[in-house]
Structure 1
Amino acid sequence: MSAKPTTDTRQNAIIEVVRVSKSVTGPQGELRILDDINFALDARERLAITGVSGSGKSTLLGLLAGLDTVTSGRICVLGHDFARLDEDARARLRRAHVGFVFQAFHLVASFTALENVMLPLELKGVRDTTAVAHEMLERVGLGARLGHFPRQLSGGEQQRVALARAFCTRPDILFADEPTGNLDASNAAAVAELLFELNEEFGTTLVIVTHDERLAGACPRRIALAGGRLVD
């Protein structure tokens, strides 16, 4: 289902984006990256954000995660208006409620698979971090790779560790930026299947930036960006 480029607000939305624009100033003056973006997501919804390179997809994802700030408009996540939160408060919100999966995996090279999954659990103050991380790695099929470092794992295995790390804290929202972008077709299909399985299992609201049509097509909701604007 495509979102229309009109205001889409809901009383109980877990994510609400209202007339959001983002501009930066460069050598040639102001550059508008996003222009008048509007949509809302309810809990457990699955949204794909698509568009060609440079259309503003990753910028929008960064704004939704509170990693960057809007030039105008409003973003509310879990009832919190980002305009009313400073950087530390946004970081606390992410730590408590948000998970991430990246194209480049972003695992800690000096940590084993188990230690990488334990890290967000420790930051969140979860008890029995070793047991929880072990269980999640078993869940993604890496029970035999607990002591392996990222360099000892294939790309598909590294992304499975990243999925275990993202879901182990049971986030309300998971942001995935090109999660299959660095994988071959076989591994991409396996990771996509696992991503959606975990999404259903944990009841997470899922927002995916992707060029992968198969991945986007598996999302009941989809918005496309062109030149920083929503298109049908």
Structure 2
Amino acid sequence: MTEPVIRAQDLSKIVQSGDAPLTILDGVSFEVGAGATVAIVGASGSGKTTLLGLLAGLDRPTAGEVWLGDTALNGLSEDARAALRRRWLGFVFQSFQLLPALTALENVMLPLELAGAGDAAGRAREWLARVGLSARLSHYPKQLSGGEQQRVAIARAFCGEPQVLMADEPTGNLDGATGAEVVDVMFRLNRERGTTLLLVTHNAELASRCARRLSLAGGKLIGDDAVRESP
């Protein structure tokens, strides 16, 4: 494996449920190398989305540690973790998470502007062109199809040139054909940019596109399998 960009060690997450503790994750450990394509799979309630949130520093584990590169997240303040996310991570969600009052171009520009990046408009146009939306720059989310909205979300995620793209059920709200097109875009950008893909999914076809599959059940990592060579 190449030098890990993400490392999880003995991650556990326990929350209070009524009078009893509920274990969501239990002692999960693994590493992910640069440029890898990894699917996180498991039944509903197995801890997939919780794991993704811990890896992104959006939540803190009850026990264990996460590293992005050589930086441990546990000792960082909220502001420091947010700054690390901006440098390292891009996100794609099942529900797209586009701002309805902004055009496609403005949605992609926004994180660049917040980060103080130069030529936000030019970079946003470039990434929207890469996902095939040059003709939709001035369209608002409600004027776009579901597949087009997810392409905008992918452009927004990649425009900051993250080392890792994290996606939570990225095809969950799309029909089969549209979902396949969105998946093709993500894997093409993985090949072109060397971006690590970490995908939570119930979609067997999407999981099969990844070179590696992490399987969760009852909060435990029960499988870590090399499925195929990276596409």
TM-score, reference length from structure 2: 0.94
Alignment of 1:82-101 (within 5 A): 82-101=73-92
1:46 equivalent in structure 2:
37
Letter in structure 2 aligned against 1:47: V
Alignment of 1:73-222 (within 5 A): 73-222=64-213
Residues 2 and 34 in structure 2, CA contact (< 8 A), matched pair in contact too: no
1:5 equivalent in structure 2:
none
Deviation at 1:65, TM superposition (A): 0.2
RMSD: 1.1
Residues 178 and 211 in structure 1, CA contact (< 8 A), matched pair in contact too: yes
Q: C-alpha distance in 1, partners of 2:2/2:43?
A: 32
Deviation per residue, 1:103-149 (Å, 9 max, x gap): 00000110000000001111222111111111111111111110000
Letter in structure 2 aligned against 1:194: V
Q: C-alpha distance in 2, partners of 1:77/1:49?
A: 18
Letter in structure 2 aligned against 1:73: G
1:72 aligns with 2:63: yes
Q: C-alpha distance in 2, partners of 1:189/1:13?
A: 28
Give 3-state SS (helix, strand or coil) of 1:84's partner.
Answer: coil
Residues 96 and 124 in structure 1, CA contact (< 8 A), matched pair in contact too: no
2:227 equivalent in structure 1:
none
2:226 equivalent in structure 1:
none
Residues 52 and 166 in structure 2, CA contact (< 8 A), matched pair in contact too: yes
Residues 49 and 207 in structure 1, CA contact (< 8 A), matched pair in contact too: yes
Deviation at 1:182, TM superposition (A): 0.3
Give 3-state SS (helix, strand or coil) of 1:59's partner.
Answer: helix
Deviation at 1:11, TM superposition (A): 9.1
Letter in structure 2 aligned against 1:202: R
Q: C-alpha distance in 2, partners of 1:222/1:28?
A: 35
Q: C-alpha distance in 1, partners of 2:177/2:111?
A: 29
Structure 2 alignment gaps of length 5 or more: 224-231
1:17 equivalent in structure 2:
8
Q: C-alpha distance in 2, partners of 1:96/1:228?
A: 29
Q: Percent identity, aligned pairs only?
A: 55
Letter in structure 2 aligned against 1:211: H
Deviation at 1:12, TM superposition (A): 3.2
Q: C-alpha distance in 2, partners of 1:172/1:189?
A: 23
Give 3-state SS (helix, strand or coil) of 2:58's partner.
Answer: coil
Q: C-alpha distance in 2, partners of 1:219/1:179?
A: 14
Runs of 4+ in 1 over 6 A off after TM superposition: none
Residues 113 and 147 in structure 1, CA contact (< 8 A), matched pair in contact too: yes
